[in-house]
Amino acid sequence: MSISSSTFTSPLGPLRRGRHHIVNPQDPSVLSRTPTPFVLGPIDLLTLYFIPVATVLIYEPSSDGTPPFSLDRLHTAISYLLNYYPHLSGRFRIDTAAGKHVIDRHGTGALLHEATIDVPLSSYTKAGVYSILDQPGAGNYLLAPYDSSLEALGRDPIFTVQYTRYACGGVALGIRCPHIVTDADGFFRLAGDLARIYRGLDGADKGKLPVSMEPCAKPYLAGWGDDEELEEARRYRPKDFHIVDPPAPEPASTEPAPPAAPPLPVLGRELPFSSADLAEIKCRASDPDSPDKPISSFVALCAWLHQQIYKARLILEAKSPSIHKIVTTDFLSPLNLRAANRLPALPPNYFPNGVLTHYTTVPPTDLASAPLHRIAGHLQAMMTTQAVVGVEAERTVKWLAAQLNLNLVTFGMKFGQGSCMISAWNKFDMYGEGAAQFKEGEKPVLVSPPFTPISLMDGLAYVLPPHPRGGKEGDGVVVYLSLLEAVWDVIEKEGLFGL
């Protein structure tokens, strides 16, 4: 069976940006209680500071044709939200020397943008199903403008929201937060908290979250350790990280640098997989000689994608070695340490980054021709290694916290043409009872990260819940995958994504 996909093509649409608003905590006293500077944790500081977590949530109009939530009330809700996340009203102070970035200038403000689209939301649906690729600018224009330059990162708001109203009363909410502050788990917790606060603005506990749901905003091990503890932590040798020597200064040259080759075009596409597709892939990825060692559907899907993409790369390399040269077969997937058996010190409501990325090198001969269950075995072993659970995970994070210069910490994975990186976002409740509902019962019809200039990275994929259809939750999963345009051409010609 053929797996359909959508390419990164979309009309810009009649979108117009309007006013913007600076938003600060409703209770100014929380700013004086927020540490200055706000020190980020060792897991946070592993992330490149210019990479954001950005997602668009789209809502149809209410039954009476009005927006499901209003801009003014959203403005108020954000101010109450910042009572719980006051550091998001600050600004980054980027430390390029040692990589130990902090947040200060609390109360400078988060940003709320207004925008309108002069056509109804229904103009962007196909057979009752919404896709971010059909939205203006493939969803990019539903997010507030973003500048990833070093100067802008120390100047611009950390937390941004864009409220876009369609002509019919539908609303798109584009939320962006730097990855160095939170991961996908924390991001969706933040969006859910905003919706809960919005719904409760008319209640007796206006602007308050239930005590059991209050977020933990303090990063784990931020500023941790006396001299003895730090020295002991440095003696550990983590599996996936090591220290490199400082780069030697390059000799001055009077010759102008040669112009860099233009980057090869990368396209982002959606790949829907039904439950039947996933069952078929899982059957192929199960080792017939080890029925007592089951694998998850996620591991099976990752193994299938990695192998099929590698086969396409091999074909492209044979035909056009000057365009495509495979340099690695490494596979990466982030693992959420909030799970109780991985790092018990992280509470369930932990907002900062709580994931460690781990990788494995799959032998090229296996990727090229081995049965799928062998590739799945490599990935399963990576995801269950002792390096990501309990004491070993804690020692790894303490080792990171003890480093004097995080710029010298190197992750062992080899990135480049041939690598594959897949994140499991399908575990988040985007459309069910846990969805961000600004009006009780009115759930988003689409929750999606747009393919942005930063996220369009060859070999990067997100596995998301299926898009709802006709008001009902969908079936299976949707994979958002970025690949070189030339690799996509081979996949289509050879039918490599067919089951």
pLDDT tens column, 396-441: 999 999 999 998 999 988 888 889 999 999 999 999 989 999 999 9
Look at residue 256 and give its three-state secondary structure.
coil
Share of the chain above pLDDT 90, in %: 72
* Per-residue confidence (pLDDT) for residue 468, from 0 to 100: 84
Confidence check: pLDDT of 9 > 60: no
| 486 compared with 251, residue with greater pLDDT | 486
DSSP letter, residue 41? P
Residues contacting 139, CB < 8 A, separation 6+:
10, 56, 132, 133, 174, 448, 450, 451
Are 371 and 488 in the same domain? yes
Q: Tokens 């000057």 correspond to what residue?
A: 322
User: What is the rounded average pLDDT of the residues 374-397?
Assistant: 84
The upper half-sphere exposure of residue 54, i.e. CA atoms within 13 Å in the direction of its Cβ, equals: 25
Which residue type is seen at 21? H
**What b/e readout covers 171-197, taking b as 16+ CB neighbours within 10 angstroms?**
bbbbbbbbbbbbbbbbbbbbbbbbbbb
At which of 201, 228, 255 does a domain end?
228
Query: Helix, strand, or coil here: 458?
Result: coil
Instruction: Report yes or no on 162 lying in a domain.
Output: yes
What token pair was written down for 377? 């075995």
Judge if 309 and 458 occupy the same domain.
yes
- Give the per-residue pLDDT at 303: 97
> Are residue 357 and residue 483 in the same domain, yes or no?
yes
Give the start-end residues of each E strand in 244-374: 266-273, 330-336, 355-361
Task: Provide the percentage of residues in the chain whose pLDDT is more than 70.
Answer: 95
Whole-angstrom distance, CA of residue 389 vs CA of residue 408: 25
Asked if the model's pLDDT at residue 7 lies above 70, the reply is no
Answer whether residue 321 is part of any domain: yes
CA atoms within 13 A of residue 225's CA, in its CB half-sphere: 22
- Determine the Cα–Cα distance for residues 126 and 130; give it in Å rounded to an integer: 7
Residue 490 identity (one-letter amino acid): V
Compute the average pLDDT of residues 172-179. Answer: 97
- Rounded Cα distance, 360 and 411, in Å: 12
Mean of pLDDT values over 184-209: 95
Cα distances from 436 to residues 148, 205, 429, in angstroms, run: 28, 19, 9
Least confident of 5-14, 27-36, 106-115, 145-154: 5-14
Decide: helix, strand or coil at residue 365.
Answer: helix
Cis peptide before 37 (omega within 30 of 0): yes
pLDDT of residue 253: 67
Cβ contacts of residue 69 below 8 Å, gap of 6+? Answer: 59, 171, 198, 438, 439
Q: What is the pLDDT of residue 415?
A: 87
The two tokens of residue 219 are 């990063």
Structural domain count, the chain = 2
Q: What is the pLDDT of residue 13?
A: 55
205 and 304 share a domain?
no
The residues near 29 (Cβ < 8 Å, ≥ 6 apart) are none
Tell me: do 120 and 219 sit in the same domain.
Answer: yes
Domain with residue 108: its CATH number is 3.30.559.10
Considering the domain boundaries, does residue 308 fall inside one? Answer: yes
Band of residue 1 on the pLDDT scale cut at 50, 70, 90:
very low
Question: What average pLDDT score do residues 265-286 get?
Answer: 96
Residue with the two structure tokens 């892939």? 281
Longest dimension (CA), the chain: 70
Does 20 lie in the same domain as 99? yes
Mean pLDDT of the chain: 91
- Helical pair 297-319 and 372-383, crossing angle rounded to 10 deg: 120
Any domain includes 158: yes
Claim to verify: residue 279 and residue 414 sit in the same structural domain = yes
Under a CB-based contact definition with an 8 Å cutoff, are residues 193 and 209 in contact? yes
Looking at the structure, do residues 181 and 314 belong to the same domain, yes or no?
no
**Structural domain span for residue 402:** 266-432+451-494
In whole angstroms, what is the distance from residue 8 CA to residue 134 CA? 9
**What pLDDT, in 10s, does the model give residues 292-306?**
888 999 999 999 999
| Rounded-to-integer distance, Cα 147 and Cα 155, Å | 10
Q: Are residues 222 and 297 in the same domain?
A: no
Average pLDDT, integer, range 210-235: 94
Residue 386: its pLDDT value, please?
60
